[in-house]
A and B are shown apart, each in its own frame.
Chain A
Amino acid sequence: MEAIGIGVWGVPLAVFAGAIRVSTPFIFVSLGEAITERSGRINLGLEGTLVFGAMTAYAVAVVTLSPWLGVLAAMAVGACFGLIHGFICKFPKVNDIAIGIAMMQFGLGLAFFLGKPFIQPAAPRLPAIAFGVWSDLPQIQAALNINVLFLVGAALALAFWWASRNTRVGLILRVVGDSSDAARAMGLNPDTVRLFATAAGGALAAIGGAYLSLYYPGSWNEGISSGQGLMAVALVIFARWNPVGCFLAALLFGGAGALGPALQSVGVTKGYYLFYAAPYVLTLVIMIATSSPTRSLAGAPGALSITK
C-alpha cells in the first residue's frame, strides 16, 4: 500500500487495515478451536485443516468459478478432518495432542499432494465491501475495503458468545467440557459431543484457510499459512475460551502481523524479518504472562488436558 500524501499516518492506517485483513483467518481458526476446547478436547491439527481448506477452496473455486462454493467445500472437508480427529481420540490411551500433530502433518502432506495442479491457475476472489467510498484518499478507501468473511466472523463470535450461555447446545458443550462425569450423569455421551465439536471446529478452521487462498494473499501455494492454525491455539488460551475475546485477540495478532509490511511501505526495510517474527513473539509473551505453574487458568474447561 502506498503511503504518499498522508505521511507517517500511513503506518497506523496500514496497521489498522492489515489487522482487519490478517486477522480474519485467526478469527475463524480460534473460534473453531474455542468450540473444540470448550468440549474438553484440544485439536492441534487445525494448521493442517486450515491449509487443506485453503487448497480445497481454491481448487473448487478454479473449477466452478464460484468462490462461495469453494468456501462450502472447504467447510465440508474441514468437518471431515475434525471427525477423523474426534473419532480417533474417542479410543482409550490415545493422546489428543499427539493426534493433532499427526493430523497436522497428514493434512499438510495431502494438501500439497492434491494441490499441486492448482498452483498455476487463478481462482475468482471472495468479494469485499467498500466502506470507504465517502473518502477521497485512496489509502482510506483501500483500508476500508472489508471482506465479507471478516464481518461473518465478527457476527459468529457474538453469536457463539450469546449461544454458549443462553442455549441448550451451549450448555451441553460447557458441561461436557467441564466434567465428563457430570455429562454422563445428565445422560449425555461426552465422546459424541466432542466428536461434533471437533467437526465444527474443523469446518470453521477451513473457512480461515479459504480466506487465505481466496482473498488475502489470494493464491494457493505451499507456503500459504505461516502457522496461523497453531497460533490460534495460544490465542484461545489468551482469550480465556471466550468467543468475543477470540475476536479481539485475533485483531491484536493481525495488527502485529501487519506491522512489518506497514513499516516497509513507508521505507523502513531494516530488520524486516524481525518484524515478521512479531506475532510469534507476541504470542509467546502473552502465554508467559497469562500462565501460572500453580493455579489452573481462570475460565478453562475442566476436562481439557492442556491446562492440567
Chain B
Amino acid sequence: MTVEANSHTLPTLDGRVGSLRPSLEWLARRAEPLAITLFAILIGLALFSIFIALVGKSPIQLFELIYAGGFGTWFSVQNSLSRAAPLLLTALCVALPARLGLVVIGAEGAVVLGGLAAAAIALPLVGSAPPLLVWLIMALAAMLVGAVWIGLAGFLRHYRGVNETIASLLLAYIAIALLNHLIEGPLRHPASLNKPSTAPLPPDYMLGSIPGMDVHWGLVFGVTACILSWVLIEATSFGFAARIAGGNVRAAQIQGLPVGRLIVGFTALAGAFGGLAGMIEVAAVQGSANASLAAGYGYTGILVAFLARHNPLAIIPVAVLLGGLDASGGLIQRRMGLPDATMLVLQGTLFVVILFCETFYGRCKIFNPDLWKRSA
C-alpha cells in the first residue's frame, strides 16, 4: 500500500543555461498538485451544490453563509483560526506517516490521551509551580503519551506486520474507552455532575490569547509544528531517507536505510503532534479533560492531510479553510435550518472527489514536461 508522495522535482540542470525551459518545467511540475486540487475542490463544491438544491435549499445562500461565518469579518476569521489550530496538528499526525507510505487514521486516540495526560499531570502541580513550567510539563506529557500511542501502530506495522490503518483506529477506540473510564472514575472531579470531567485548571493556568488577537496560542504551536515538519522532511537526511522509504521500501532497505527506526520515529512524532493537540484543547479551550476531547479533530485532520497531499506547508492553508467551514456550521444551522451534519456531507464529498482526482496526475500534458515538444 502506498500513498503517492509529492513529486518535488528540482529545476533540471541539463546544461541549457539561459533557456526558459528549465524554469517552465519546474513551474509546471509545481503547478500540477495545486491545479488538480483546486479542480477537485470545484467539482466537490458543484456536487455539494446539487445536493443542497435537491433538499430544497439555496446553495448560493449556503456559500454566502460559509464566507460570512468563516472569513467575512475579523471576528469570524479569528474563530476559523482557533478551530484550525488543532487541525494543523492532527493533520500532521496523518501526513507524516503518509510520507512513509503508511495510512494512519487514529489521530483521535492521540488527541484524547494527550489531553488526558496533560490534565492529569497538571493538577498536582497547580499552585506550586509557575504556569509556564506547568504548560511545558503538560505539553511534554501529552506529546509523550501521543507518541507512544501512534508509535505503537508504527511499531506493530514494521515488526509484526499488523495493518497500521486498522490498528491505529482500534487504538483510538481503546483511548476513548480509557478516557471515559478515568473521567467517570479515578480522575473525576466531584463537581462535574452532568458532564464528567477532571478538576478544572485555574484561570491563570489557562493558555491565553496571542497578543492583539482573540486566537489562543495553539495556532502558533500548530504553525510552528508544520514548518518544523516541512524542514524535517525537505531539508534533513532523516527526512530524505523517509521519502526514499515512502517511495520504495525495498530500495531503502537495500540502501541500508534504517526503515524500522524511520517508521517508528515518524509515527511517534506524528503521535506527539496529535497529543499536543489534546494538550491545547485542555489548556486553551476546555480547561479540563472531558468527553469533548473526542470531538472529531482527528478525523477532520485526515481530510486536511489528504487535501494538502501530505505536504506540511500546504496543511496550513487547508486547515484554515476547513476551520472556516467548521466555524460557519453554526450559522448555517441557524439561518437555513440545515442539520449540523451539513458540513460533514461537504467534507465527505470533497474527500471522495479529491481522491478520485488522484487519477489525473501525469495525464495532463501541460503539467508533464516530458511530453512537451522539443521546440524550446
A94-B358, A97-B103 as given contacts; A113 in contact with B174, CB under 8 Å: no
Q: How far is the CB of B345 from chain A (nearest CB, A)?
A: 4
Choose among B2, B348, B358, B362 the residue that contacts A105 (Cβ–Cβ < 8 A).
B348
* Distance between Cα atoms of A148 and B171 in the complex (Å): 33
| Partner-binding segment picked from A11-19, A123-131, A225-233 | A225-233
A interface with B by C-beta (< 8 Å): 44, 84, 88, 91-95, 97-99, 101-103, 105-110, 112-113, 116, 226-227, 230-231, 233-234, 237, 270-274, 276-277, 280-281, 283-284, 287-288, 291-294, 305-306, 308
Q: How many angstroms between the C-alpha atoms of A66 and B265 in the bound complex?
A: 54
Q: Residue-by-residue, is B1-37 near A (CB-CB < 8 Å gives 1, otherwise 0)?
A: 1111000000000000000000000000000000000
Do B165 and A44 touch (CB < 8 A)?
A: yes
CB distance from A307 to the nearest CB of B (A): 8
B303: Cβ under 8 A from any A Cβ = yes
Q: Does B240 contact A (CB under 8 A)?
A: no
Residue of A nearest to B158 (CB): A293
B359 close to A106 (CB less than 8 A): no
Residues of A close to B339: CB separation below 8 A: 112-113, 116
Q: How far is A56 from B20 in the complex, measured between Cα atoms in Å? A: 58
Closest A residue to B173 using CB positions? A280
Residue from the list B1, B170, B302, B356 in contact with A284, Cβ < 8 A: B170
Contacts of A274 in B (CB 8 A): 177-178, 181
Residues of B within 8 A of A102 (CB): 303, 306, 348, 351-352, 354-355
Add 6 more A-B contacts to A95-B1, A101-B302, A274-B181 (CB < 8 A). Answer: A95-B358, A101-B103, A105-B344, A230-B169, A273-B178, A274-B178
Please measure, in the bound complex, the distance between the C-alpha atom of A31 and the C-alpha atom of B166, giving whole angstroms.
Answer: 18
Nearest Cβ on chain B to A206's Cβ, whole angstroms = 17
Q: Known interface pairs A98-B103, A280-B173. Does A105 touch B1 (Cβ–Cβ under 8 Å)? A: no
Q: Is B180 an interface residue (CB 8 A)?
A: yes
Contacts of B343 in A (CB 8 A): 109
The binding surface of chain B is classed by DSSP as helix
Contact of B352 among A88, A272, A273, A291 (CB under 8 A): A88
8 A/B residue pairs, CB under 8 Å, sorted by A: A98-B355, A103-B348, A105-B344, A109-B344, A113-B345, A230-B170, A305-B1, A306-B163
Among A108, A237, A273, A305, the residue within 8 A (CB) of B348 is A108
C-alpha gap A88/B357 in the complex (Å): 10
**Min CB–CB distance B93 → chain A (angstroms):** 14
**Residue of A with least CB distance to B351:** A102
Determine the residue in chain A with the shortest Cβ distance to B360.
Answer: A93
* B156: Cβ under 8 A from any A Cβ: yes
Q: Once the chains bind, are B162 and A288 in contact (CB under 8 Å)? A: yes
User: Would you call B105 an interface residue if the criterion is a C-beta within 8 Å of the partner chain's C-beta atoms?
Assistant: yes
Chain B 295-343 interface residues, beta-carbon cutoff 8 Å to A: 299, 302-303, 306, 338-343
B303: nearest residue on chain A (CB-CB)? A105
Chain B 194-216 near chain A by CB (<8 Å), digits 1 or 0: 00000000000000000000000
B166 touches A234 (CB 8 A): yes
How far is the CB of B58 from the nearest CB of chain A, in Å? 16
| A105 shortest CB reach to chain B, Å | 4
- Alpha-carbon distance between A88 and B358 when the two chains are bound, in angstroms: 11
Neighbouring A residues of B338 by C-beta, 8 Å = 113
